[in-house]
Structure 1
Amino acid sequence: LRVKGRFFNISIINVHSPHSGSEDDEKDAFYEQLNWTYNSCPKHDVKIVIGDFNAQVGQEEEFRPVIGKFSAHVRTNENGLRLIDFATSKNMAVRSTCFQHNLRDKYTWRSPQGTESQIDHVVIDGRHFSDIIDVRTYRGANVDSDHYLVMVKMRQRLSLAKSVRYRRPPRLDLERLKLPEVASRYAHSLEAALPGEGELLEAPLEDCWRSVKAAITNAAESTIGFVERGRRNDWFDEECRAILEEKNAARRAMLQYNLRDYEEAYGQKRRQQHQLFRAKVRHQEELEFEDMEQLHRSNETRKFYKKLNGSRNGFTPRVEMCRDKNGAILTNEREVIDRWKQHFDEHLNGAEAEAGVQGGRREDFIGAAGEGEEPVPTMREVKDAIRKLKNNKAAGKDGIGAELIKTCLH
């Protein structure tokens, strides 16, 4: 993750190291990958490595310049030595063991047997050592994990540039145009809103199109309406909310008293919560399957496959990054655009495409010179072309789908 700062950008690397019982080859491969990722970050960025290192860092005197003196453990284990070696080789510091807190606020992981360890760490460039001013755990934050939430307090000036969140514009419910009464209302509303033929002929072409576009858009919004966005997680109801609150209360009691009875009570509430959530999800899936079966029976093929793909793929986030030729992740918008330009230049505008243009085949696409202008299409040809437009296709920048124009043809 790369965060834009006012003076320095911040590259944050999240890791999950193999546990202590893993083979040495697996650990070596992990640190080789971490070393490659670190080196691929921009040179002048503030580099921070965070995550589960499965490493216990001790309080040995010889490691003090790298680890400080306030670790939760006295001796460093093998994974801890690997972490210290990596930090030393990169001139970094382990800041999670540099601040004096109560022992319970240093532990980051609780084993199934009830023992606790400090195995999640925060490592930062030695040059920016003082940017991190505190690291501690918050045991009360329930993340449904055997790890505790680690808080890092950092002194850094971030960029004031606001990130504009993309908001999908509402879509017109074009399916309603299949209803005769809706199509009739839309046609009459559009006919009343369109400017006269004489007015259109006298105005510039761009002004004509703006008038027609406004008439189509206003008529469609007033008579057709927009598609209602379905809510996700409809299965989460008051029963789910109640069992979740009971589980959280049991967890707080377990952390406060640290007794076996409270631990067993929390485990029981956690199992009940998971069982209830799974049952609710299964019931919701059964309802969706019934809807898909009904669509299949009524021969609504497009709606059927749309619902099927939605249930199969689930939520798909927007991807606004890519990799360069060397595999490094690009997040800057300008760099991503340049990378795509480079990709298409190499694959579509390469030597083979250039040879085709130089070979004299350009006339196949744009016509030979001297043929003269094409005749103006007749009204019948225009109507035939509009009727041949396919339905259910994405609208252009103006947001006007083919159905909105085809419905008004006489």
Structure 2
Amino acid sequence: MRARMTGKCNNITLIRCYAPKNDSDEEVKDKFYLTLQAALERVPCHDLTIITGDLNAKVGEDNTNNDRAMGKRGCATMNENRERLVDFCNMNNLVIGGTLFQHREIHKLTWCSSNGRDKNQIDHMMTNGKWRHSLTDVKVKRGADIGSNHHLVTASVKLKLRSVGQGSYDIDKLKSSEIQKAFILQLKNRFQALADLDEEEGNADEEINKKWDKVTAIYKQSSEACLGYRQKRGKEWITPSTWNFIETRRALKKKRFRHNIPEAKGQIPQAV
């Protein structure tokens, strides 16, 4: 099941699934992960993606060579389904949330057998690596009154959004006398047009907040027309020649990795 919720700043896609058991046929497992992959590929890349469900995978604590897909806070022994789930997460830049946070074992075990002896962590919640640090907690709630031998798995997500504004105006351009004159002329023309409009419409007693909004709009429009936005500059303490060395080094390293050629001494220039 896939659901998408639209938000003001970011959209969230939820995928709910149920994986075959560990002793199921290999073809059945392959079909499940192909279906899950197809559903994931339909999700826009900028969405916060959350995949939840009974994956029947015991992921354990060992995350050697898989630290991007899971943490060291899992529990129980590993099974074959674990390899499939971790490979799926590695391929799609997903992380298993239940392995990231330190909790008592009773708050990590998600399933209990009918005889009460076997307990495992087989229900999981994954999110895309881009939003890994927005995931603040994953915890099992044992007190939920539900007719199942699975416990409720909860997650806390706190979105950390960056400003997407266009930046500040390039006021350094005002040092030029020509741009100063053009900017002043823009302001005079716009304020004159505003005054004429007020006289025609008889808006002399207009509320002060509305007048202030018009004044700020005039300054913004004039700044955009004459100044533009300040361009992001590189670090001034790095000289252009050093940047050239850095780019050359990067290109040679990419070439070496692409062709699996050992790096020769003196092949890559050193930045000074």
Query: Taking structure 2 as the reference length, what is the TM-score of the superposition?
Result: 0.56
The residue identity in structure 2 corresponding to 1:13 is: I
- The 5-angstrom pairing of residues 77-156 of structure 1 reads 77-114=79-116, 115-156=118-159
Query: Where does structure 2 lack aligned partners over 5 or more consecutive residues?
Result: 162-272
Q: Is the 8 A contact 1:6 1:157 kept in 2?
A: no
Higher relative contact order, chain-length normalized (CA < 8 Å, sep 6+): 2
Which is richer in helix?
Answer: 1
Q: Is the 8 A contact 1:16 1:53 kept in 2?
A: yes
Q: Which residue of 2 aligns with 1:3?
A: 5
Name the SS of the counterpart of 2:138 in structure 1: strand
Cα distance in 2 for residues equivalent to 1:133 and 1:16: 24
Q: Which residue of 2 aligns with 1:370?
A: none
Q: Residues 326-371 of structure 1: CA distance to partner in whole angstroms, max 9, x if unpaired?
A: xxxxxxxxxxxxxxxxxxxxxxxxxxxxxxxxxxxxxxxxxxxxxx
Q: Which residue of 2 aligns with 1:396?
A: none
Cα distance in 2 for residues equivalent to 1:14 and 1:116: 22
Name the SS of the counterpart of 2:66 in structure 1: helix
Q: Which runs of 4+ in 1 moved over 4 A?
A: none
Q: Residues 344-403 of structure 1: CA distance to partner in whole angstroms, max 9, x if unpaired?
A: xxxxxxxxxxxxxxxxxxxxxxxxxxxxxxxxxxxxxxxxxxxxxxxxxxxxxxxxxxxx
The residue identity in structure 2 corresponding to 1:69 is: K
Aligned residue pairs total 157
Cα distance in 2 for residues equivalent to 1:46 and 1:6: 13
Name the SS of the counterpart of 1:62 in structure 2: coil
How many percent of aligned residue pairs carry the same amino acid?
36
- The 5-angstrom pairing of residues 183-198 of structure 1 reads none
C-alpha RMSD of matched pairs (Å): 1.5
Which one of the candidate residues 64, 68, 71 is aligned to 2:71?
68
- The 5-angstrom pairing of residues 386-405 of structure 1 reads none
The residue identity in structure 1 corresponding to 2:107 is: D
Cα distance in 2 for residues equivalent to 1:43 and 1:136: 27
Cα distance in 2 for residues equivalent to 1:96 and 1:84: 13
Which structure has the bigger radius of gyration? 1
Which is richer in strand?
Answer: 2
Cα distance in 2 for residues equivalent to 1:42 and 1:51: 21
Cα distance in 2 for residues equivalent to 1:71 and 1:145: 22
- The 5-angstrom pairing of residues 234-273 of structure 1 reads none
Cα distance in 1 for residues equivalent to 2:72 and 2:42: 31
The residue identity in structure 1 corresponding to 2:106 is: R
Q: Residues 225-273 of structure 1: CA distance to partner in whole angstroms, max 9, x if unpaired?
A: xxxxxxxxxxxxxxxxxxxxxxxxxxxxxxxxxxxxxxxxxxxxxxxxx
- The 5-angstrom pairing of residues 168-317 of structure 1 reads none
Once the two structures are TM-superposed, the CA of residue 43 in structure 1 deviates from its matched residue by: 2.6
Cα distance in 2 for residues equivalent to 1:24 and 1:51: 20
The answer on 1:12 being equivalent to 2:11 is no
